[in-house]
Structure 1
């Protein structure tokens, strides 16, 4: 019998709920898919190893239930005023957009996101930062308002970059990083309906590679990285490469989706917004580098806690593959474009 087989069942229902929400042609079916996804993800958040998982699960449930109630109310208003007044439908679409931004943790509706992530394990955090954002962002792309989205992009970039400066918790750093990347995704969404999906796929891969290391070494705070990085030079280099790639620094792989969005924004004459986004992205790159700063420039040999290196050989081989993709991915993509 499969160990923890109930988790596998809830995991399948979570995926099914998101797929129902994405592929539905009715607002009511979209709401039903989101509810299936929510009720399946709550048991996956619960962990006996982390004492704060129950608190985070309750916070997540209350926020998502509030967003679902407002979304259902918006659907009812949409059908009531379908043939009544056009401007009421516009405000109704703004309500739907706001609920989807609340569900995905987009600024300024991000107040719950860092605190929920702080109480979860790295596996749950990965699902929360990637898969749980897919359905709300897809629904958000159905009802875009350009003026509203520009303000949302500015808020996401500001809160995502400035919020992570004084943080020492790696989970909160990744949470504010995710808010910042949401600004890039929404900017891609208003320029091209498919470009944000490409950005989302690249972000999910790079996010997985970072969390893979954090989870294997059981890292949750900045001061824990001192001993880990000084014990293994390969881990030191790997973390540095992956963080630079996630920050979008050329010539790493993470620069490719940002490159596409930059080109689209230049073509659409959004120069001021683009400069603002690039400047705030440099701040996020700064607190990415803080994680590996101790490994590159400082020596901490004698620490007050014992450290157990449980990183297996097969994990090192897998990490070497991820590093190769992050280093040479942009070069490979350029060769493919030149060939075709």
Structure 2
């Protein structure tokens, strides 16, 4: 196991996986709501810990926000069942359903709970809430999507996710705002094609898993730890490759799905939307390049006699997979020529 878990945690992980399957495979809105509720109740025991007050606070925040979103979702689907013949209300109901699902996944402008909650979680739970917990709301969003409303939400996501990352010293908050930024890209891919969404989501999950495991093994939570700890060069290179791939810097693997989305937007004459998306990615890359520049170029007060290395089989495996990000050069070469 990459992340240590006891039998109780494994049981709740299984329920979490099972509840997502219930939501996305249900043929009624009520069944989708039941799956979302099981998902909520199974994730709270994974978050809460009697030894950490921040985890308990995070579980309470998660429960309250997800309960409000579930109530709104249930009210919206009941309103849809009552007023199914009133076509004038369909637009309003679709916005209500979309808003409740956006709150569940921590999307802008309903992201108020997401970064502060991420600050109280360990790296395993951070990885789950950034990836797996977004599957059910995203799939349900594709069933009843209001295109104009979602386009506005996409723009808000990429702008807020990029600008809010300024002056962040916590890596967990930085990844939370990066997740909000990537939600805009995920919604754009969902509007294009479910296959493109699946490709983007799998690559995003792959890059997040490497980063979260790397920070877990190094026990790093803040940017100044990357700067002050005397990491060996191989660790730094592995970390920076994954940062750049997550930011979408060519020729890394993370650039490949973003280039597909930008290409589609340009071919459909959505020049302003593609410009906003590209500029937001450049701002996100500025954060990552700043971390790389400071840790490589500046000479901080470090423990010069002590170099940090990790002799761990899982870490070696992750380093091997991080080098796969360089294979993005192959895909990007096929795209350009």
TM-score of the two chains, using structure 1 as the length reference: 0.93
Q: Is the 8 A contact 1:102 1:110 kept in 2?
A: yes
Separation in structure 1 between the aligned mates of residue 226 and residue 27 of structure 2, nearest angstrom: 47
Tell me the CA shift for residue 310 of structure 1: 6.8
Aligned to 2:124: 123
1:140 positional shift: 0.8
Say which SS state the counterpart of residue 106 (structure 1) adopts: coil
> What are the within-5 Å matches in structure 2 for residues 23-62 of structure 1?
23-48=25-50, 50-62=52-64
Q: What's the counterpart of residue 286 of structure 1?
A: 286
* Equivalent pairs, count: 334
Residue 321 of structure 2 corresponds to residue 322 of structure 1: yes
SS in 2 for 1:52: helix
Matched, 1:248 2:261: no
Checking the alignment, whether the CA contact within 8 Å between 1:225 and 1:292 is kept in structure 2 is no
Q: Gaps (5+ residues) in structure 2?
A: none
Correspondence 1:211-226 to 2 at 5 A: 211-226=212-227
Distance in 2 between residues matched to 1:286 and 1:47, nearest whole Å = 35
Distance in 2, matches of 1:25 and 1:59, equals: 30
Where does 1:64-83 land on structure 2 (aligned, <5 Å)? 64-83=66-85
Residue number in structure 1 paired with 2:114: 113
What is the distance in 1 between the residues matched to 2:249 and 2:97?
A: 34
- Stretch of structure 1 that moved more, 161-170 or 259-268: 259-268
Aligned to 2:159: 158
Matching of residue 96 in structure 1 with residue 97 in structure 2: yes
Pairwise CA distance, 1:300: 2.0
- CA pair 49-288 structure 1, distance change in 2 beyond 3 A: farther
Change (3 A) 1:238 1:7: same
Partners of 2:31 and 2:165 lie apart in 1 by 37
* Distance change in 2, residues 1:330/1:156 (3 Å): same
| Native 8 Å contact 1:189 1:195 kept in 2 | yes
Counterpart contact for 2:227–2:295, Cα < 8 Å: yes
Match of 2:310 in 1: 311
**Alignment RMSD (CA, Å):** 2.2
Deviation at 1:231, TM superposition (A): 2.9
Equivalent residue, structure 2, for 1:274: 274
Are the counterparts in 2 of residues 225 and 294 from structure 1 also a CA contact under 8 Å?
Answer: no
Shift in CA distance, 187/307, structure 1 to aligned 2, threshold 3 Å? farther
TM-score (norm 2): 0.93
Q: Whole-Å Cα distance in 2 between the matches of residues 29 and 183 of structure 1?
A: 27
Deviates more, 1:277-286 or 1:52-61: 277-286
Residue 152 to residue 225, structure 1, CA distance change in 2 (3 Å) = same
**Structure 1: which 5+ residue stretches go unaligned?**
none
